[in-house]
Amino acid sequence: MITGNKPIYQKDMEPTCLDKVILPLAGGHSPFWNWHWDMGKDCHNRFLLDALLKRVYRYLDITPEKHSGEEATIVTVVDRIKTRKIRNLDVLVAGAQQRWPDVAFQLVDLTGMPPKQHVLLARSTDVWVGVTGAAMTHLLWLPEESSVAEIQPPNKRMPDGTPYVGFRNLSKMRNLHYFTAHPERRPEEEGDWQMGEWLDVKPEVFNALVDAAIYAQLHRGAKSLGEVLPI
C-alpha cells in the first residue's frame, strides 16, 4: 500500500530477516483494534485510512466531492430491522422533521443495498444517525465536517467498565463532529446488548441529539436555515 507495488506473499519470499513488521491480525492484537477501543487514543495520522478510501472510491468509480452548501441539510437515520431497533423510530423522525422543516430527513434500511449505493448515500449526507453497529462504519464515507450522532445501548460498556469509543475515535480521525446519547436502561435489558431487540429512546433525548448534530452543520457556515430552533 505504501510503495504501490504488488503484495509479496510469505510463500514466495526467500528466507530473510525483517525489521519493524506489524501483523494486524483480526482480534484484540490488531493495532487498529486497540486504537478503536482506547478512550485515550486521538490518532490524527490518516495516511493508511486515506489510502483505503481512495482505493475504494477508485474501485467503485466514485469521485468524492464536498457538499456545495447550496442543498438542504440532509439527515440520514439508519433503520435496523433485527436487533437494537429503536421503538417508534418513525415517530421520532417525524417529530424531528417538524422541528426542522427545512431539513431533509431520510429513514433508510441498508439491508440488501449494493455497496456503491451505501457509499453514495453517505457521501450525500450531512448528519448520520444510528445505533451502535456495523452501519456506523459508514462514517468512513461521510464528507469531512459532517456530523455523526450515535445512539449507544444503555449497557454498552467494555469489560473493564469504560465506555465504548470506537466510532468516536474514528470520527475524530476523519474530522467529523461526533455526538452520542444513551437510552435509559430497563430491568429486562441486562443481557447481551448486541442481541437485544429493542431500544427505547425518549423524544427529548432523540431531539437533543439530532439538534446538536444539525447545529454543528449550521455553525460551519456552509448551510443556512430561515428560522433556527433553540435546543
Selection from 128, 208, 131 nearest residue 171 by Cα: 128
Question: What is the spatial order of strands in the sheet that 177-181 belongs to?
Answer: 104-108, 74-78, 127-131, 147-151, 177-181
Give the chain's domains with CATH numbers. 74-218 (3.40.50.360)
Strands 104-108 and 147-151: unpaired
Cell triple for 73: 441539510
pLDDT at 25 (0 to 100): 57
Q: Which residues of 151-177 are buried (b: 16+ CB within 10 A; e: fewer)?
A: bbbbebeeeeeeebbbbbbbbbbbebb
Quote the pLDDT of residue 227: 54
Q: What is the pLDDT of residue 118?
A: 95
pLDDT of residue 107: 96
Q: What is the DSSP letter of 157?
A: B
CA proximity to 177, closest of 68, 65, 73, 28: 73
**Local structure of residue 149 (DSSP, 8 states):** E
pLDDT of residue 182: 85
Given a cut of 70, the residues of the chain with pLDDT beneath it are 1-3, 21-45, 68-70, 155-162, 185-194, 222-231
Q: What is the pLDDT of residue 185?
A: 65
CA distance 49 to 20: 20
Spatial separation of the C-alpha atoms in residues 39 and 184, rounded to whole Å: 22
Q: Full-prediction pTM beyond 0.85?
A: no
Alpha-carbon dihedral angle through residues 61, 67, 72, 74, given to the nearest 10 degrees = 60
